[in-house]
Amino acid sequence: SYVLTQPPSVSVAPGKTARITCGGNNIGSKSVHWYQQKSGQAPVLVIFSAGDRPSGIPERFSGSNSGNTATLTISRVEAGDEADYYCHVWDLSSDHYVFGTGTKVTVL
């Protein structure tokens, strides 16, 4: 089955840039989505199709995808960005969706 690997944690100071990676075999050929999940809440879509933002999501959130790595970038990090983040793809070979292992972002 297809596996998506994320770093367990990322720490960043307020105002700085956080980069969260999502590794998968030839992930650059897939459409990658990213979700933010704050403590005790349901996930929220923050990036879809690698780089598009749903309405209401700040421009500080951006995404890229190439080769074997997709990246979610959060610019000018704020305390409110502290959350778990998950990448997500459709795996055509298995006809299944897959979530990444998740990354906890801590704002110092």
Partner 1 sequence: QVQLVQSGSELKKPGASMKVSCKASGYSFTSYAVNWVRQAPGQGLEWMGWINTNVGNSNYAQAFTGRSVFSLDTSVNTAYLQINNLKSEDTAVYYCARENQGSFDLWGRGTPVTVSS
Question: Does residue 35 belong to the site contacting partner 1 (CB under 8 A)?
Answer: yes
Binding-site size for partner 1 (CB under 8 A) equals 25
The residue range among 21-29, 32-40, 57-65, 74-82 that interacts with partner 1, by the rule CB under 8 A, is 32-40
Question: What binding mask, one character per residue, do residues 73-102 give for partner 1 by CB under 8 A, x or -?
Answer: -----------x-x-x-x----xxxxxxxx
Place of tokens 């959130």: 61
- Scan residues 54-73 and list those touching partner 1 (CB under 8 A): 54
Place of tokens 């030839």: 26
Tokens for 102, please give them. 């998740």
CA separation for the pair 105, 99 (Å, rounded): 17
Q: In this structure, what DSSP letter does residue 74 have?
A: E
Question: Does residue 2 belong to the site contacting partner 1 (CB under 8 A)?
Answer: no
Tokens for 9, please give them. 């944690």
CA separation for the pair 108, 105 (Å, rounded): 10
**CB-wise, 17 or 85, nearer to partner 1?**
85
CA separation for the pair 23, 89 (Å, rounded): 11
Binding site for partner 1 (CB under 8 A): 1, 31, 33, 35, 37, 41-45, 48-49, 54, 84, 86, 88, 90, 95-102
